[in-house]
Each structure stands twice: as C-alpha cells, then as structure tokens.
Chain A
C-alpha cells in the first residue's frame, strides 16, 4: 500500500486519531466537568481541522480496492456534515452544563459518529457502507440514552437501538442477496452486472434492492419506516436531537444517492418506484401528523420526516439536476433545522427547558428578537419566498417536473401547503396570543447559532450566498452520472 492513500483518507484519519486522543485525554483527567468542557472545545477544533483537510482534497480517487471514494460529491457533503456536527457541539455547553451531563464521552461519541458519517459518504462498496452506517448508528444509540437517569431518554435510546438493529438486519439481508446474484460487494461490479439486459428482471437483484432500500429508509426516517422518530426526538436530550436531525440525515441521503445511482443505475425504474412511494408517504404523513402536536420537538420530528420526503423527490427525478436539488435541499434543511433546535434550546425559564408550543405564546411581546428569528425559520420551513426553504423546494420540484413526474410534484406542492399550516400556527401563537411568562435570555453560543441560521435563510436569495451553494451542489452532483439523463 503506497502512502498516497493516506492523503486521500486524511480527513478520516484526523477525525479518528483526534477522537481517540481526546478519549485518552478525558479518561486521564480527573475533573469531570472541566474535562467535558475542554474536550468539547477540542472536538470542535478537530472537526474544523477535518473540514480543512477535506478542502485540501482535489480530483477523484478510489482507494482500498475501490471501497473508499473521494470526489467532489463526497467533499461537498462532508463539509456540510462537519459544519452541522460542529454547530451542534457548540449548542451543547449550556444545556448539558445545567443538566450535569457535560462529560467528555459525549463529544468523543459525536466525533466517532461523524467519522461514521464520513465513511458512509465515501462508501463505494456494500461492506464499507455497512461499517460506516454501523459506526454512526452505534454512537447515536448511546448518545440518545445519554441522560441515563431519565426514563424518556433511556426509552429513546432503547427504541432507537432495537429498531436500528432491525433495519441493519434488513440492510444486511439485502446486501447478501446483491452479493449472491452479482458476486461482488463493489458498486462498480454490481452496476456492471445490473446493466446486463437479462439481469434487469432478476428477482434476486430486486429483493436485494428492496431490502437495502428498506434499511436505508429506516435510517433517513422515511414513511413507513419512521415510527421511531417522534419518540426518539422527544426523549433524547435536546442537543442530541439537534444532532440527530442534521448530520446523520445528510449521510444517509448521501448513501441512498450513491447506492442508487452508482450501484444500480441499470434498474433505475425499479428503485424509482420505491423512492416515489417513500417520498409521497413521507410528505403526506409529515404534514398531516404534525398538525396535532403540542410538543415542539415532536413537531420538528414530523417536520424532518416531511423534509426527507421532499428531498427524495430530487432522487426520484434521477437526473443530475435532481441530485443537485437533493444536495441544495440538504444544506438548507440542515441550516433551518439547526436554527430551529437552537430556538428550542433557548426556550428556558428559571434554568429549566420547556418544550410545549403553548409556552411560546406572546413571545413577540417579551423577546422580539427571539420571536423574529423563530418566525423567519418557520416561514422558511413553510416554503414562503424569498426565504431559503422556498428555494430548497424549487430546486427539487423543477427536475421532477422535467423528468415528467407530475403527480409526485403536485402532491409535493399540496402537502407543502398543508405543512405551512402548522409552521404558521407557531408564528401566530408567538405574535398574536396571550403573553405567557417570558424566557430567560438565550445563552450566547445558542443565540449565535439561531442568528446565523436565520441570517443564512434570509440571505440565501443573494447571489453570493445562494449562488455559491447552488454552484457547489451542481458541481458535486455532476460526479454521479445517472443512466437516463
């Protein structure tokens, strides 16, 4: 093995070595809380160093016998994942500090989960896919139950673990079928096998495809494999939920994109059907089930289910613009979700967090800045132009219409109107309802994330913000070439 491999995997190496060294630092420091604080700051530094290493990469290379790929597509998604992970770590200090959860293991587990995500993004082989997915999931199960004295948090961790293990089983079953009929775990060989005409109707290939997609749908929480999402989002500590809603979704969508377009372009019509169904079901359930929610974390859980549905529209289109649309959607979704969860973290009275939507009532009179930021994010999630949320939907609907998926696009537009109802209800409660007791002023770092997210959402319409993202996403998407342009 020559040393050029090390340059290709430099980001992963930095992250892995960083996580292990910080683990050692934490173990051999006696003071718990101070160690937690230091290790969290150092973890953010490691994530930034990794992002810089990702930036340094160029071109497209395959290493480890084709199992690990590094190209424009992976670099784009890795940067988004690393920024998302770093911002969620920044939001943990205040909340975990008060809950006496500021232990060094948390940032280390977040680093290892992020490493898993980078491996997922770069996976070009079924075994690499599974290893990355499992590294990420296992760390996420643990941090879901991190508040171990709390029944809800333990329940969230256990539920996530059991359903996650089930989905991993499905995925492995599918992967074994794909291996059985194509004789290889490598995407390139599977793709070569799947393009042979007589293979397009091969039943083993279809089985494998279906089971792998079921496993991945569990991970992105697409309907009908979403059941765990609301409970886990509600039960896990809020900074953990903010992490769940952001980076892991991107990594799992990246897996879906590469798996469908690089490994199985030959049977595109087969997976397109499945993706269309997942998209429609997620959008419909995401918008209707959220209406009755009173807990803001549950509301955001259903919102994330709906958003996955919208992002899947771009995948269903199966063209380069569609892939670019998914990438743009993911960037905007992460920005909005992080901002929304920062707002949830800032909802605290007398040192205690509150999570009910009615607690927001009349917020505009007690804290106008907070109310304005949350209102901007809600308008954006609802898809009101000219905010970023509108453009996110624009860039996935347009390729779908181009690909002739008219019913899917119409259902998407209708459900986004339904979804607008519950987002705007939050705005109405904040601005027009009876004033409830005000919140304590938000903590500086959390407020910074809120403000940053709102600023991004508003400024997206400007060419040097939105244009940059769109150009980068289009360049990244052009790496994956679908079979039917």
Chain B
C-alpha cells in the first residue's frame, strides 16, 4: 500500500517535472526541474530494490551532469530563442522522416508481431531477496570478474575521451605571467635584495629582472 502510494507520488512528480523542463521559459528553471525529475526517477529505482542505480542517478546525474548543465546555461550566453527558431525551421522535415520510420516500424510490428525467442533465458540475475547480498555488492562481484573486459575497455574509452579533449582544446600560450609559489617561497634575502652603491649626484639603472619565468 505504502509502496503504491510512493510509486504514484514519484511517477506523478517525475512526469510533471519532465514536462516542466520543456515548458518553462527560463532555462535555469528548466535545469532545476530536470534535477527534480532525476530525484523522482531515483525514488522509483529505490522502490524497485535497485538502490545502486538510485545512488548512481543522484551522484552522476544530479551531482555532475546537471551541475554542468547549470554552468553552461548560466555562463554561456546562449540565445535560446534563436535555437528554437532553427528547431522550428527544420522540425517539419525531421518530423516527416521520423514519422515515416515510426510508421514503418509500427506497421511491421503490427503485421507480424514482435515474438521473443524460445531460447531466451528470463532467469533473473538479481540476487534472491533472502540471500543477504545487496545489489550493489552483487554488481561489484561481477563487474570486476565476469565483466572485467568490458570494464577495462570502457576505462580506455574514457581515457581516449580525456586525451582528446586536452589535445583539441589546451592552448600553450606564451608570455603569460603566472604566479609561481615555489619561486616566491624560495626567494630569500640573498636573491631578493641587492645593495647598490649610488654615486653622489648619479643614478642607478636597475638590472633586468631575473625572476625565473613561470613554468608553462
């Protein structure tokens, strides 16, 4: 009873906030509604006993992705009206092509039906409820053993993504003055102070600064 109540609460809120994401005028509000939608989806996962996915949703999507969205929305001056104009201009063609593919798929499925193979094994990989193994632990047990190949492969893909982002965007600009804390700390009276003898009536031109250039 209580779980049904929570199910309806979470799903109604998720749908409502999802709709608000695309209906609100203010992009910052849209991102905030998106966060609300993520939280409600996480709640639905908890109801399904998938607490690991729920945690992941909150940590990854709310903690990282949505914050990134907020940064983009608040820091970049994106003209959303212009974006929408471009969307509306191409919407007819997109809708036509998408609609055609959808109609074709539906017609085929409706005509023949989508049967599932008899050899399909629907045996549940979820640990039994009374085994005392949480599903976080169950995932951890297979992620680093049975699926270690996929796990390492995905890790390499992320490494490539990181190298790529650095290669394509990092610019080594020359002549930028940066603070070098180690140089400042290492500076003592011997290097920071110079006693010069000023001839009477004359002047002293200071020698060019010998600060070590800040490392790139």
Q: Which residues in A have some Cβ–Cβ distance to B below 8 Å? A: 1, 16, 20, 23, 63-65, 67-68, 103, 105, 108-109, 112, 115-116, 119, 127-128, 131-132, 134-135, 138-139, 141-142, 145-146, 148, 157, 180-184, 189, 192-193, 196, 198-199, 201-205, 207
Task: Give the residue name and chain of the B residue nearest to A182 (CB).
Answer: B117
Task: Give the residue name and chain of the A residue nearest to B121 (CB).
Answer: A183
Whether, in the assembled complex, B118 has its beta carbon less than 8 Å from a beta carbon of chain A, the answer is yes
Task: Give the residue name and chain of the A residue nearest to B216 (CB).
Answer: A30
Asked if residues A142 and B160 are in contact (CB atoms below 8 Å), the reply is yes
Asked if residues B113 and A109 are in contact (CB atoms below 8 Å), the reply is no
Asked if residues B117 and A193 are in contact (CB atoms below 8 Å), the reply is yes
In the complex the two chains form, what is the Cα distance from A131 to B121 in whole Å?
Answer: 24
Stretch of B3-11, B48-56, B91-99, B143-151 that contacts chain A: B143-151
Smallest distance from the beta carbon of A259 to chain B beta carbons, Å?
17
Asked if residues A142 and B157 are in contact (CB atoms below 8 Å), the reply is no
Stretch of B21-29, B75-83, B161-169, B202-210 that contacts chain A: B161-169
Contacts of B160 in A (CB 8 A): 109, 112, 135, 138-139, 142
Contacts of B156 in A (CB 8 A): 16, 112, 115-116, 135
Asked if residues B168 and A142 are in contact (CB atoms below 8 Å), the reply is yes
Whether, in the assembled complex, B112 has its beta carbon less than 8 Å from a beta carbon of chain A, the answer is yes
For A138, give its contact among B108, B146, B152, B161 (CB under 8 Å): B161
For A64, give its contact among B122, B149, B167 (CB under 8 Å): B149
In the complex the two chains form, what is the Cα distance from A108 to B164 in whole Å?
Answer: 11
Q: Mark B183-196, 1 if CB is under 8 A from A, else 0.
A: 00000000000000
* Contacts A135-B160, A181-B115, A192-B119; A203 near B148 (Cβ below 8 A): no
Task: Give the residue name and chain of the A residue nearest to B215 (CB).
Answer: A30
Contacts of A192 in B (CB 8 A): 119
* Contacts A65-B146, A148-B168, A196-B117; A203 near B112 (Cβ below 8 A): yes
* Contacts A112-B156, A135-B160; A142 near B119 (Cβ below 8 A): no
Contacts of A146 in B (CB 8 A): 167
Interface size band for B: 20 to 34
Interface centre among B105, B153, B163 (most CB of A within 10 A): B153
Asked if residues A131 and B154 are in contact (CB atoms below 8 Å), the reply is yes
21 pairs across A/B with beta carbons < 8 Å?
A: A23-B163, A63-B149, A67-B150, A105-B163, A105-B167, A109-B160, A131-B150, A134-B157, A135-B160, A142-B164, A142-B168, A145-B168, A157-B168, A182-B119, A183-B122, A184-B120, A196-B118, A203-B108, A203-B112, A203-B115, A205-B117
Asked if residues A68 and B164 are in contact (CB atoms below 8 Å), the reply is no
For B153, give its contact among A135, A181, A202 (CB under 8 Å): A135
Task: For the complex of A and B, list the 6 residue pairs with the smallest distance between their C-beta atoms, beginning with the closest.
Answer: A183-B120, A142-B164, A131-B153, A64-B149, A193-B117, A203-B112
Asked if residues B164 and A132 are in contact (CB atoms below 8 Å), the reply is no
For A181, give its contact among B108, B120, B121, B157 (CB under 8 Å): B120
Smallest distance from the beta carbon of A173 to chain B beta carbons, Å?
11
Contacts of A180 in B (CB 8 A): 116
Q: How many interface contacts (CB-CB < 8 Å) are there between A and B?
A: 106
Contacts of A132 in B (CB 8 A): 153
Contacts of B88 in A (CB 8 A): none
Asked if residues A181 and B145 are in contact (CB atoms below 8 Å), the reply is no
Whether, in the assembled complex, B109 has its beta carbon less than 8 Å from a beta carbon of chain A, the answer is yes
In the complex the two chains form, what is the Cα distance from A112 to B167 in whole Å?
Answer: 14
Asked if residues A141 and B164 are in contact (CB atoms below 8 Å), the reply is yes
In the complex the two chains form, what is the Cα distance from A422 to B64 in whole Å?
Answer: 54
Contacts of A109 in B (CB 8 A): 160, 163-164, 167
Asked if residues B164 and A202 are in contact (CB atoms below 8 Å), the reply is no
In the complex the two chains form, what is the Cα distance from A193 to B120 in whole Å?
Answer: 8
Asked if residues A139 and B164 are in contact (CB atoms below 8 Å), the reply is yes
In the complex the two chains form, what is the Cα distance from A279 to B121 in whole Å?
Answer: 37
Asked if residues A138 and B120 are in contact (CB atoms below 8 Å), the reply is no
Whether, in the assembled complex, B72 has its beta carbon less than 8 Å from a beta carbon of chain A, the answer is no
* Contacts A64-B148, A139-B160, A146-B167; A203 near B120 (Cβ below 8 A): no
Whether, in the assembled complex, B129 has its beta carbon less than 8 Å from a beta carbon of chain A, the answer is no
In the complex the two chains form, what is the Cα distance from A134 to B119 in whole Å?
Answer: 30
* Contacts A68-B149, A131-B150, A138-B160; A202 near B117 (Cβ below 8 A): yes
For B115, give its contact among A116, A142, A202 (CB under 8 Å): A202
Smallest distance from the beta carbon of A29 to chain B beta carbons, Å?
13
Asked if residues A128 and B120 are in contact (CB atoms below 8 Å), the reply is no
Contacts of A202 in B (CB 8 A): 115, 117
Contacts of A193 in B (CB 8 A): 117-120
Contacts of B117 in A (CB 8 A): 181-183, 193, 196, 199, 202, 205
In the complex the two chains form, what is the Cα distance from A131 to B156 in whole Å?
Answer: 9
Task: Give the residue name and chain of the B residue nearest to A205 (CB).
Answer: B117
Asked if residues B119 and A128 are in contact (CB atoms below 8 Å), the reply is no
In the complex the two chains form, what is the Cα distance from A132 to B149 in whole Å?
Answer: 11
Smallest distance from the beta carbon of A85 to chain B beta carbons, Å?
15
Asked if residues B163 and A142 are in contact (CB atoms below 8 Å), the reply is yes
Interface centre among A65, A128, A180 (most CB of B within 10 A): A65
